[in-house]
């Protein structure tokens, strides 16, 4: 009998501290696939802000929460190592919700085969949740038009960096909000954004005004926080706001007040929250929009690689501290 390692949820988060104390490292017996199943060995696990929601006690969330004692849910890149399934062969490279684990049994639900020539880091950074989320929010909610101005928060993050690059490719003026000079430099110098605002520095309102002389038409919200009110104030008539994340408030005991709705009325704004589980069935259509931009070399990414399964337990907290630089990926 051989065993493998997995990380189970042991406790629900109650403050802005997602650390190892919430998890339990377990040694599990390696299973064999039954008929219609296959066994995968995971090589890369994606850490995503959505995981914070799945861990919380909130039963109103958009997909079922992870129960205490379950292997923590996560998305990853793996290879099929044993198969009793007609559509998956040993050696296939696949992505899916395998969880924080070395091995997993699957029946194929939600599992996609991927081009073995693409680097795993690129698959997880672009052709998985980040790219699908950016595409859905930008195109379906933001409805960008060439010549408009877009502001994206969390601009150096996995989703925000793709949103900004797609918007640039569509001919928009793009201003990113990020934490710290290094991230601001990266989105302007490497990704080609038209400007960056460091939300940790002074003068965010003045900087925003200087960088958006024609106001703001599309606002892609990943973070919440005080910048939200300033962006909201500068929205143009018929502006669109895609609410994708509110990391600043995920675990706040008293969430910060939102903007008053007078401006929403006066400017005839549309504010729409969206989450990807509603749109997974549209993956093919979203990839049809995204892929040509990637092939044209318009979408750069950087992966922030953590080493070893157990690093996932400390890695999640980087979303709150804003210390991650690029797509958080755990390499097994």
Site track for a second copy across 184-223, x = CB under 8 A: -------------------------------------x--
Q: Is 261 in the site for a second copy (CB under 8 A)?
A: yes
Distance in Å, CB of 62 to a second copy, minimum = 7
Tell me whether residue 253 or residue 307 sits nearer to a second copy (CB atom).
Answer: 253
3-class secondary-structure state, position 64:
coil
Question: Tokens 């379906």 identify what position?
Answer: 140
| Sole window of 87-95, 203-211, 247-255, 304-312 interacting with a second copy (rule: CB under 8 A) | 247-255
3-class secondary-structure state, position 83:
strand
Q: Is 60 in the site for a second copy (CB under 8 A)?
A: yes
Q: Is 228 in the site for a second copy (CB under 8 A)?
A: yes
Q: Which long-range contacts (CB under 8 A, 24 or more apart) does 88-93 make?
A: 88/38, 88/113, 93/120
Distance in Å, CB of 68 to a second copy, minimum = 21
| Sole window of 174-182, 185-193, 246-254, 305-313 interacting with a second copy (rule: CB under 8 A) | 246-254
Q: Where are the beta strands (DSSP E) in 71-215?
A: 75-83, 93-96, 103-106, 112-113, 149-153, 173-178, 195-198
Distance in Å, CB of 237 to a second copy, minimum = 7
Side-chain half-sphere CA neighbours of 58 within 13 A: 17
Q: What does the block give as tokens for 237?
A: 């008539």
3-class secondary-structure state, position 38:
strand
Distance in Å, CB of 265 to a second copy, minimum = 4
| Sole window of 121-129, 174-182, 245-253, 298-306 interacting with a second copy (rule: CB under 8 A) | 245-253
Q: Is 268 in the site for a second copy (CB under 8 A)?
A: yes
Q: How far apart are CA 177 and CA 223, in angstroms?
A: 10
Q: Report the residue from 5, 43, 275, 283 that binds a second copy according to the rule CB under 8 A.
A: 275
Q: Is 58 in the site for a second copy (CB under 8 A)?
A: yes
Q: Report the residue from 1, 35, 262, 284 that binds a second copy according to the rule CB under 8 A.
A: 262
Site track for a second copy across 277-316, x = CB under 8 A: -x--------------------------------------
Task: Assign 3-class secondary structure to 193-214.
Answer: CCEEEECCCCCHHHHHHHHCCC
Q: How far apart are CA 189 and CA 282, in angstroms?
A: 33
Q: What does the block give as tokens for 251?
A: 């675990």
Distance in Å, CB of 220 to a second copy, minimum = 12
Q: Is 257 in the site for a second copy (CB under 8 A)?
A: yes
Q: Is 57 in the site for a second copy (CB under 8 A)?
A: no
Q: Report the residue from 81, 259, 282, 291 that binds a second copy according to the rule CB under 8 A.
A: 259
Q: Please, are residues 154 and 245 in contact by the beta-carbon 8 Å criterion?
A: yes
Site residues (CB under 8 A) for a second copy, limited to 30-49: none
Q: Of 224, 225, 197, which is closest to residue 209 (Cα–Cα)?
A: 197
Q: Report the residue from 5, 43, 61, 311 that binds a second copy according to the rule CB under 8 A.
A: 61
Q: How far apart are CA 54 and CA 180, in angstroms?
A: 28
Distance in Å, CB of 158 to a second copy, minimum = 17
Tell me whether residue 6 or residue 271 sits nearer to a second copy (CB atom).
Answer: 271
Q: Please, are residues 102 and 332 in contact by the beta-carbon 8 Å criterion?
A: yes
Q: How far is CA 125 from the centre of its chain?
A: 9
Q: Of 108, 127, 109, which is closest to residue 117 (Cα–Cα)?
A: 127
Interface residue list for a second copy (CB under 8 A): 53, 58, 60-62, 221, 224, 228, 237, 243-246, 249-250, 255-262, 264-275, 278
């Amino acid at each position: 009998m051989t065993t493998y390692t997995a990380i189970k949820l042991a406790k629900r988060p109650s403050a802005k501290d997602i650390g190892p104390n919430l998890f339990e490292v377990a040694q599990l017996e390696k299973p064999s696939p039954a008929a219609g199943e296959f066994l995968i060995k995971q090589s890369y696990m994606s850490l995503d802000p959505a995981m914070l929601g799945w861990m919380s006690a909130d039963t109103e969330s958009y997909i079922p929460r992870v129960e205490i004692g379950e292997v923590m849910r996560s998305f990853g890149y793996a290879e099929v190592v044993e198969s009793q399934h007609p559509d998956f062969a040993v050696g296939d490279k696949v992505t899916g919700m395998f969880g924080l684990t070395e091995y997993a049994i699957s029946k194929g639900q939600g599992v996609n085969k991927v081009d073995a020539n693409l680097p795993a880091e690129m698959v997880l950074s672009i052709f998985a949740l980040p790219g699908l989320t950016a595409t859905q929010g930008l195109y379906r909610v933001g409805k960008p038009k060439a010549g408009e101005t877009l502001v994206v928060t969390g601009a150096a993050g996995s989703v925000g960096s793709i949103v900004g690059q797609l918007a640039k490719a569509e001919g928009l003026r793009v201003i990113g909000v990020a934490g710290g000079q290094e991230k601001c430099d990266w989105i302007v110098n490497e990704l080609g954004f038209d400007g960056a605002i460091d939300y940790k520095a002074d003068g965010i309102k003045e900087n925003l005004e200087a960088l958006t002389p024609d106001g703001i038409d599309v606002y892609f919200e990943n973070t919440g926080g005080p910048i939200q009110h300033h962006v909201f104030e500068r929205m143009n008539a018929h502006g669109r706001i895609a609410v994708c994340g509110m990391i600043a408030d995920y675990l706040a005991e008293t969430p910060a007040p939102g903007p008053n709705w007078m401006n929403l009325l006066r400017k005839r704004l549309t504010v729409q929250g969206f989450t990807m589980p509603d749109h997974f069935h549209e993956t093919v259509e979203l990839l049809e929009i995204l892929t040509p931009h990637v092939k044209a070399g318009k979408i750069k990414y950087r992966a922030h690689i953590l080493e070893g399964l157990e690093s996932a337990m400390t890695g999640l907290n980087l979303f709150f501290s804003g210390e991650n630089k690029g797509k958080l990926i755990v390499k097994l």
